[in-house]
């Protein structure tokens, strides 16, 4: 991986992994400076909206003092879901760079192309980057989750 901002997003994803959260990390960059960084905290916060992207958007808005992130780029380790895509449109984010496709919940390109829909009054530039480390971390998480579920089921029998 050669993208320094995706490396920072991966560091955030690793924090989620260590907390037994789905390992997704995000950073928001403006003028070549990271202005926000976050990782999934859905389980920790007991809140369905505590996705890395949403938390990063909230931080970035506070940092710049505006809800419009017109000149900002989001780097995220996993393709955003429908909720996060909606928040990215509302925040007027300029560009999104993501690593792993999300076949079950991804609304950037996998299920639908919400951010590039011509009916939107704001179109987001999209870039997918190759980052095997992001995919590996997600796969490790779900393998660990599945094996612990199998172990707990076999103990209860």
12 among known catalytic residues:
no
Closest CA to 145 of 10, 11, 17, 9: 17
**Catalytically annotated residue among 7, 20, 43, 53:** 53
Neighbour order of strands in the sheet with 125-128: 33-39, 25-30, 72-78, 95-100, 125-128
Q: Are 29 and 8 in contact (CB under 8 A)?
A: no
Please list the active-site residues.
53
């Amino acid at each position: 991986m050669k993208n320094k901002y995706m490396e920072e997003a991966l560091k955030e994803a690793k924090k989620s992994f260590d907390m037994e959260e789905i390992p997704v990390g995000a950073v928001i960059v403006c003028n070549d400076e990271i202005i926000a960084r976050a990782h999934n905290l859905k389980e920790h916060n007991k809140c369905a909206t505590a996705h890395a992207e949403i938390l990063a958007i909230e931080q970035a808005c506070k940092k710049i003092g505006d809800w419009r992130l017109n000149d900002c780029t989001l780097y995220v380790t996993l393709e955003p879901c429908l909720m996060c895509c909606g928040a990215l449109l509302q925040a007027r984010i300029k560009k999104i760079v993501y690593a792993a496709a999300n076949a079950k919940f991804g609304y950037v390109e996998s299920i639908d192309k919400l951010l590039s829909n011509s009916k939107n009054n704001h179109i987001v530039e999209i870039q997918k980057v190759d980052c095997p480390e992001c995919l590996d971390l997600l796969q490790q998480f779900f393998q660990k989750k599945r094996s612990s579920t199998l172990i707990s089921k076999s103990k209860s029998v």
